[in-house]
């Protein structure tokens, strides 16, 4: 790759947004980056086009999403009953199993060209996790990883007490990413009772609110998380 590396990343807070609308938006950005990369294949090294990067924050109305490798049996509420709890259901093109998104949860979508940063999917996942670990540290909450499982966990070294506070699920194509992570801040955790989160039977979920016994200011958490992501990826946020 001979084009100039672009670490400039446009930050957009989409606010509370319908899941499908947000998915369509990030898909559009994802496809635009891929189109630039396709065009570069036919261009001389000296005139290669720069690819853009986007960091999207949002919250969703109650929704369950399941990845390509997910098992629909992990949705334990009949789909016909979803309207009774005000939730929707989407089968999507990320990796991973089933998860829940809802108000009080920060959902982060990174639509970036990893060739602007580093070309290693394992490193990408660990860097996302580290951004969350460092964010939680600012609130006095210790967190870490469990070998063989994605996401960020509390009491990660205790099999019986381990509980998940952040889920990850990504899609990549030609080093371009979409989807990302979901951090439980003031999340209504009762919605997780309707699924087997990420297909893992024996692990609980938690939130910052639950761990700190108080509602958290979403804007404060967002600001810290945004800073930590930018730091970990060495992004220049716009």
Q: Quick check: is 214 in a domain?
A: yes
Q: Quick check: is 3 in a domain?
A: no
**pLDDT band (50, 70, 90) for residue 158:** very high
The contacts found for 23-28 with CB under 8 angstroms, 24 or more apart, are 23/90, 23/92, 25/56, 26/54, 26/56, 26/109, 26/111, 26/178, 26/179, 27/178
Contact (Cβ atoms closer than 8 angstroms) between residue 70 and residue 36: no
Per the annotation, the verdict on 198 as an active-site residue is yes
pLDDT above 90 for 196: no
Q: Residue 74: phi, psi to the nearest 5?
A: -80, -5
Mode of pairing for the β-strands spanning 163-173 and 204-205:
parallel
What are the distances in angstroms from CA 99 to CA 62, 80, 175, 206?
A: 11, 18, 24, 13
CATH no. for residue 89?
3.30.930.10
pLDDT above 60 for 2: no
Structural domain count, the chain = 1
Put simply, whether the predicted model's pTM sits higher than 0.85 gets the answer yes
Q: Quick check: is 64 in a domain?
A: yes
Domain limits for position 176: 8-237
Report the pLDDT value the prediction gives residue 23, as an integer from 0 to 100: 95
Q: Quick check: is 1 in a domain?
A: no
Q: Quick check: is 2 in a domain?
A: no
Report the pLDDT value the prediction gives residue 46, as an integer from 0 to 100: 84
Report the pLDDT value the prediction gives residue 87, as an integer from 0 to 100: 96
- pLDDT, one tens digit per residue, over 3-61 is 679 999 999 999 999 999 999 999 999 999 999 999 998 899 888 899 999 999 999 99
Looking at 63, 111, 125, 198, which residue is catalytic?
198
């Amino acid at each position: 790759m001979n084009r100039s590396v672009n670490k400039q990343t446009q930050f957009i807070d989409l606010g509370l947004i319908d899941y499908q609308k947000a998915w369509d938006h990030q898909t559009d950005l994802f496809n635009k980056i891929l189109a630039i990369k396709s065009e570069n294949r036919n261009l001389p090294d000296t005139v290669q086009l720069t690819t853009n990067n986007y960091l999207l924050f949002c919250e969703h109305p109650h929704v369950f999403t399941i990845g390509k490798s997910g098992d629909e049996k992990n949705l334990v509420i009949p789909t016909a009953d979803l309207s009774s709890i005000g939730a929707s259901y989407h089968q999507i093109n990320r990796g991973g199993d089933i998860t829940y998104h809802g108000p009080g949860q920060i959902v982060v979508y990174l639509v970036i060209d990893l060739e602007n940063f580093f070309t290693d999917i394992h490193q990408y996942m660990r860097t996302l996790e580290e951004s969350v670990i460092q964010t939680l540290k600012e609130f006095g909450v210790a967190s870490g990883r469990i070998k063989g499982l994605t996401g960020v966990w509390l009491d990660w070294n205790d099999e019986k007490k381990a509980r998940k506070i952040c889920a990850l699920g990504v899609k990549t194509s030609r080093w371009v990413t979409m989807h990302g992570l979901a951090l439980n801040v003031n999340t209504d955790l009762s919605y997780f009772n309707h699924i087997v989160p990420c297909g893992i039977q024996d692990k609980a979920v938690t939130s910052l609110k639950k761990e700190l016994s108080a509602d958290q200011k979403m804007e404060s958490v967002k600001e810290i998380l945004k800073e930590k992501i930018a730091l970990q990826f060495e992004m220049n946020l716009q």
